[in-house]
Amino acid sequence: MIHLDFETFSRIDLRASGAYRYAEDNSTEVILLGWALGDGAVRVFDRLDDPRLGELRDRVAAGEPICAHNAQFERAVWRGCLTRRLGWPEPALKQWHCTASRASAAGFPRSLEGAATATGLPVNKDPRGKKLIQLFCVPDKHGKRVNPADHIDEWLAFTHYCAQDVVVEQQLAARLPQLHPFERLAFLIDADLNDRGFPIDVDTVRAA
113 phi, psi to nearest 5 deg = -65, -45
Are 45 and 32 within 8 A, CB to CB?
Answer: yes
Are 66 and 60 within 8 A, CB to CB?
Answer: yes
**SS3 for 98?**
strand
Fold of 2-207: Nucleotidyltransferase; domain 5 (3.30.420)
Instruction: Select from 40, 17, 56, 80 the least CA-distant residue to 171.
Output: 40
* pLDDT the model gives residue 198: 81
Domain range list for the chain: 2-207
Rounded distance between C-alpha atoms, residue 180 and residue 182, angstroms: 5
**Average pLDDT of span 2-21:** 95
* pLDDT the model gives residue 148: 94
| pTM, two decimal places | 0.91
Rounded distance between C-alpha atoms, residue 63 and residue 13, angstroms: 32
Q: What is the pLDDT of residues 82-136, one digit of tens each?
A: 999 999 999 999 999 999 999 999 999 999 999 999 999 998 888 888 999 999 9
pLDDT surpasses 90 at 142? no
Strand partners, 67: 3, 97
pLDDT surpasses 90 at 173? yes
Rounded distance between C-alpha atoms, residue 149 and residue 152, angstroms: 5
